[in-house]
Amino acid sequence: MLIKNDNEEASMEMQNRSTKKRCAVRLWTILALLLIAAHRMDAQTTYGTILGTARDPSGAVVPNVKVTVTDQNSGSAHVSETDSLGSYHFTTLFPGVYNINALASGFRPIDIRGIVLQVNQTARFDLALKVGELTDTVNVEATAPVLATDKSDVGQVIDNREIVNLPLNGRNFMQLVSLTSGVILTGSTESGGPNFLSMGGRPTQNSFLVEGIETRIQREGGYGLNLSIDAIQEFKVMQNAFSAEYGRGTTIINAAIKSGGNAMHGSLFEFLRNEKLDARNAFDLTGTKPPLRFNQFGGSVGGPIKRDKIFYFANYEGQRIRRSTTNFTNVPTPDMLGGNLLGAERVIDPLTRQPFPNNQIPEARISQFAKAGSAYYPAPNSTALANANFVAVLPNPTTMDQVTTRIDANLAAKDRLNGNLTFFNFDHTDTGTLPFSGYKSFSKVRPILSVQHTHTFNPNLLNDFRFGYSRTRTFVGADQLLDKPVVSDFGIKNLSPEPVAYAPPGIDISGFGYLGHPAWVPNGATDTVNQVSDGLTYISGRHTLKFGADLRWLTYDDLGYAIQNGLYGFYGQYTGSAVGDYLLGLPTYAFAHQSGGKGYTEFLRNGEYSYYAQDDFKINPSLTLNLGLRYEYVQYPLEINNELATWNFQKGGLDFAGKEIPRRILAADRNNWAPRLGLAYTPSFLKKTVIRAGSAVTYGNFRQWEISLFHFVPPFIYENFRFNDATSPSFTTATLWPAVEKDLSKVDFKNVTANYQSPDKVVPITYQWNFNVQHEMLPNLLFEVGYAGNRSDHQPNRWDANAAHPDEDLSNPTPIQSRRPYQNVGFVSGNTSRAWSNYNALMVRVEKRSSGGLSLLGTYTWSKAMGIREWDNWTVMDINNIRFNYGPINDFTHRAVISYVYELPFGRGRKFLNGAGGVMNHVLGGWQLNGITTLRSGVALSLSSPVSNDLGNRAGNRPNRIKDGNLEPSQRTIERWFDTAAFTDPPAGSYGNAGDGIIRGPGAITWDTSLFKNISIAESRTLQFRFEFFNAFNNVNLNNPSTDTGDARFGAVSDWFEVSLLICT
């Protein structure tokens, strides 16, 4: 039988062809509108602002001072005059280095050089005019403005020096988000980079802006584009009480692309790594390090097309990784698969309720399902790890390519045009430990486009316009495929998987590794965002006013999440042995999907329309108020073929979009008002101190899965979620599945899942607040201490809308269906907005902006995160007692991060050995030390139990807690991280009482360091050698222990974080 390793990408492309023409027409229509537009844009800007007040020696304000701000890179000059209050403002400056020149009759000119302006920063430079001649200039070398004297938001700018110098394993810029207070990296996204939690928020509510254009993926809320760090000027993590011009997320990553300038600049790089200098994983008990070949290469170039007028920048980066990992799991032995369960738990014959003689299941009783599945199980091959008898060294290859270009043009004194274009391709395979259980995925950006035009009417009035287009295709499938379907070999009837899912069915035997096709794949989508924004800035006296709109049209053609071969779980419910249930074909649950004839893809469309007004009001020299109001109108998506439907309990049937209910099956909430209020106060007696406070309301988005629920209903898709009765099985693998019934009047909804949209469903709302004090300890050195909190309401959650009532007598269980409130339907997955979360944190920050060759950022967060369920698509156990699932979620109590870039002070031009020349300078000079040190406490963990709740839902179960369960640090071991004796399985048919987040996982300490050697080979050319060490001191940072009572390694740790050494040239 032929095994294929591709995911039939061509089939996905065929499914998207029907929409390509529509996308092209829309794109060209909007481009045409862009060319004839009379207005320009600012919403979601990456601009920074330089402002200040001119005063004479007596302290009086001075009007009519001519102020010129010049970009050192491009030579672009911006000219204005101070107003009647002595104030000047430049609000549309790209991140970079600037000079200020101030001229006023009767006063000496002021020339301030080397102002470093960051993305979305407001930098204040007040002008202290001195009486004198115009020929007698006051020269000032600028120090970095570290105090936020005019803003009240909470966030962190990661500048270019940190981006290109700090050690990053894989050179992914999103890793640097973790330098920010309240941020934890978690999991991965469609583009291969890490996702993150920010201030307790769910990762699905993060926003990812590239030059103001949204790149968020609707399905899981990740980002489809992983920008090259050599293409990024800098980025800002915006977390709390940001300006009203920003929205559609609770935390926003706002990235700016590099620009060209008058000077030609460029770089070439290649990073090389293999396993030879890697430390061996503590759990790699094979004695041999897995092979690794890591190559990352590329370059960038930028310069003038026409000096002082037109500039270009281009970047390419490629990545080729051939990495292997050593994985352990547990597999049934050949004797067990043959029915011989001697030495295992006592096996009960469900027909007689007596033990099988000699714990041996007769061969004649072994199901066709088990006979077919057993052929795919490998034999045990390891005794190195307790209760994990199989080890495999698995390849996980990665390929990535991306290209980014940018053009900047100064069209005239009052007009500026810039645009950027990015293409991105990422392919990765995560090979499963057991056959067919891994994943193969890709993300393709074709392309991300941004065009921006700024027009200055006069120094106090300007307008900006931006058009953006983003198209991302993502796909996740099994790591390997067969050349034909095999599900019928297992005795399973009426399933017809597509070629992208040709594989054995998923087999989940409690206590053993997962085998077969992964659940909920293949999935993926083509996400397209068309975005148009416009903003007007008007400066009037003490007020800086901004008005604008951000309009987005979203399309996502989604492949769905069909389990096409079925997923079958065996938990020992009938024989007392999970393997026994498997051999007899008696699953605790079984899931499968059947197509109604058109496949599984849905074509969704919706709009997100936002409008805002912002007033930064300088009440007096010491106090600024930030006042904003944002309104967001978010449409519930429609399916272009009206293939959505929701269950109607009153009539006992489905209501269809465009027929019984509107095409958008929920009306949009028209009350999404989002006020922003903040202040920044500098006491007159503490000129180097700023007291800041802010509050805000933000709104989230609809998740893709929320809409797919209502496509996965008959006659479009037949979703089968079956939960077996407690003691007497209502189905076996041999009786699954019914044939697809096209006549809806004949569909038995007791066996086919229906989905219900609660009418109270709205987008999530988050209330944010903060208070902090900043103090400039020394020039370029900031100390900040503060508090930040939030509460998020109306978060999406699922529940069983037709949940069975618990049996009154658990010892005499009755059929699940007989206990459901509505007898004409079985499991009904409901979608509503009743979950919530809250977060409170003390945050400390020390930041030294670059001076003397040293920059440093240190953050400490002491926090508490509480919420309902870890993920929003997990079913809650009891919708009427939703607090049952409330507890510490994604909660890391303590976290500290210190990052630094230090050019060692030796060699020519440095503090020591300044006069060194020749060999001495080449040997001792040009060294640079960089690093990131991270310390955190363990995450709050929730426990699970394989015991059936016997309520016919997908909420799962948890154990009973009979004592605390957490061990003292001195008592924790790899094999016993917590006290497993503190937990027992609940009786079948009931929930356990163990709460969420009651156990703490292992903490972690990592030291990532790098040493650079810079060799000057010409006046403007430098050769750099990098030596990068990840987890340099080889700390054993353990992964979390198993938290499932049915796992043979319950309470034990089986893996640790990767340890590596990367040598780069």
CATH number at residue 132: 2.60.40.1120
For residue 1065, pLDDT over 70 is answered with: no
Q: How confident is the model at residue 84 (pLDDT cuts 50, 70, 90)?
A: confident
Residue 42 has a pLDDT of: 42
Residue 134 has a pLDDT of: 63
- Of 101, 117, 141, which residue constitutes the final position of a domain? 141
Identity (one letter) of the amino acid at 1056? Answer: W
- Of 141, 176, 203, which residue constitutes the final position of a domain? 141
Question: C-alpha angle with apex 938: 933 to 942, nearest 5 degrees?
Answer: 150
Q: How confident is the model at residue 590 (pLDDT cuts 50, 70, 90)?
A: very high
Q: Tokens in use for 45?
A: 């800007």
In a domain, 899, yes or no: yes
Residue 37 has a pLDDT of: 38
Question: What is the extent of the structural domain holding 522?
Answer: 390-1064
pLDDT digits (tens, 9 = 90+) for 992-1012: 999 999 999 999 999 999 999
Mean pLDDT of 574-583: 96
The answer to whether 320 and 269 have CB atoms below 8 angstroms apart is no
Spatial distance between the Cα atoms of 621 and 714, rounded to a whole number of angstroms: 66
**Terminal-residue alpha carbon distance, the chain:** 45
Q: How many residues does the chain have?
A: 1065
Mean pLDDT of 856-866: 96
Identity (one letter) of the amino acid at 447? Answer: P
In a domain, 787, yes or no: yes
Mean pLDDT of 402-416: 92
Lowest pLDDT segment from 21-25, 104-108, 316-320, 414-418: 21-25
Compute the mean pLDDT over every residue in the chain, rounded to the nearest whole number: 89
Q: What residues form DSSP beta bridges with 772?
A: 692, 786
Q: Tokens in use for 323?
A: 């990495």
Residue 681 has a pLDDT of: 96
Residue 40 has a pLDDT of: 37
Mean pLDDT of 472-478: 94
Lowest pLDDT segment from 389-393, 399-403, 910-914: 910-914
Identity (one letter) of the amino acid at 1063? Answer: I
| Matching residue, tokens 């027929």 | 659
219 phi and psi angles, rounded to 5 deg:
-65, -60
In a domain, 776, yes or no: yes
Q: How confident is the model at residue 203 (pLDDT cuts 50, 70, 90)?
A: confident
Spatial distance between the Cα atoms of 156 and 165, rounded to a whole number of angstroms: 17
Mean pLDDT of 802-813: 92
> What is the torsional sign of CA 985, 989, 992, 995?
positive
pLDDT digits (tens, 9 = 90+) for 916-952: 777 787 788 889 999 999 999 999 999 999 999 999 8
Residue 48 has a pLDDT of: 85
In a domain, 286, yes or no: no
pLDDT digits (tens, 9 = 90+) for 723-760: 999 888 999 999 999 999 989 999 999 989 999 999 99
- Of 141, 164, 181, which residue constitutes the final position of a domain? 141
Q: How confident is the model at residue 426 (pLDDT cuts 50, 70, 90)?
A: very high
Helical (H) or strand (E) element with 409? strand 390-412
Residue 7 has a pLDDT of: 43
For residue 5, pLDDT over 70 is answered with: no
| Matching residue, tokens 């083509």 | 526
For residue 31, pLDDT over 80 is answered with: no
Percent of the chain with pLDDT over 70: 93
For residue 616, pLDDT over 60 is answered with: yes
Q: How confident is the model at residue 910 (pLDDT cuts 50, 70, 90)?
A: confident
Residue 496 has a pLDDT of: 94
Q: How confident is the model at residue 36 (pLDDT cuts 50, 70, 90)?
A: very low
Mean pLDDT of 765-775: 96
Q: Tokens in use for 1064?
A: 């780069």
Other beta carbons within 10 angstroms of residue 777's beta carbon come to: 12
Mean pLDDT of 313-326: 92
The answer to whether 270 and 237 have CB atoms below 8 angstroms apart is no
Question: C-alpha angle with apex 686: 685 to 688, nearest 5 degrees?
Answer: 150
For residue 602, pLDDT over 90 is answered with: yes
Please state whether 918 falls in left (phi above 0), alpha (psi between -120 and 50) or beta.
Answer: left
Residue 632 has a pLDDT of: 96
Spatial distance between the Cα atoms of 789 and 770, rounded to a whole number of angstroms: 6
- Would you call 560 exposed, middle or buried from its count of C-beta atoms within 10 A (0-12, 13-18, 19+)? buried
Residue 44 has a pLDDT of: 56
Spatial distance between the Cα atoms of 497 and 646, rounded to a whole number of angstroms: 25
Query: Regarding predicted confidence, which is higher, 17 or 726?
Result: 726
Residue 282 has a pLDDT of: 65
Percent of the chain with pLDDT over 90: 63
Query: Regarding predicted confidence, which is higher, 909 or 356?
Result: 356
Residue 135 has a pLDDT of: 62
How many domains are there within the chain?
2
> What is the torsional sign of CA 863, 249, 452, 53?
negative
In a domain, 347, yes or no: no
Residue 273 has a pLDDT of: 80
For residue 643, pLDDT over 90 is answered with: yes
For residue 21, pLDDT over 70 is answered with: no
Query: What 3 state SS string does 294-360 have?
Result: EEEEEEEEEEEEECCCEEEEEEEEEEEEEEEEEEEECCCCHHHHCCECCCCCCCEECCCCEECHHHE
Q: How confident is the model at residue 19 (pLDDT cuts 50, 70, 90)?
A: very low
Other beta carbons within 10 angstroms of residue 598's beta carbon come to: 12
Identity (one letter) of the amino acid at 872? Answer: D
Q: How confident is the model at residue 38 (pLDDT cuts 50, 70, 90)?
A: very low
User: What b/e sequence results for 671-696 when a residue is b if at least 16 CB atoms lie within 10 Å of its CB, and e otherwise?
Assistant: ebebebbbbbbbeeeeeebbbbbbbb
SS3 922: helix
The answer to whether 240 and 626 have CB atoms below 8 angstroms apart is no
Q: Tokens in use for 663?
A: 């095409």
Q: What residues form DSSP beta bridges with 301?
A: 266, 314
Helical (H) or strand (E) element with 27? helix 9-36
| Domain CATH code at residue 655 | 2.40.170.20
In a domain, 535, yes or no: yes
Q: How confident is the model at residue 978 (pLDDT cuts 50, 70, 90)?
A: very high
> What is the torsional sign of CA 921, 922, 924, 927?
positive
Peptide bond into 715 cis (omega under 30): yes
For residue 23, pLDDT over 60 is answered with: no
Query: What 3 state SS string does 669-707 have?
Result: CCCCEEEEEEEEECCCCCCCEEEEEEEEEEECCCCHHHH
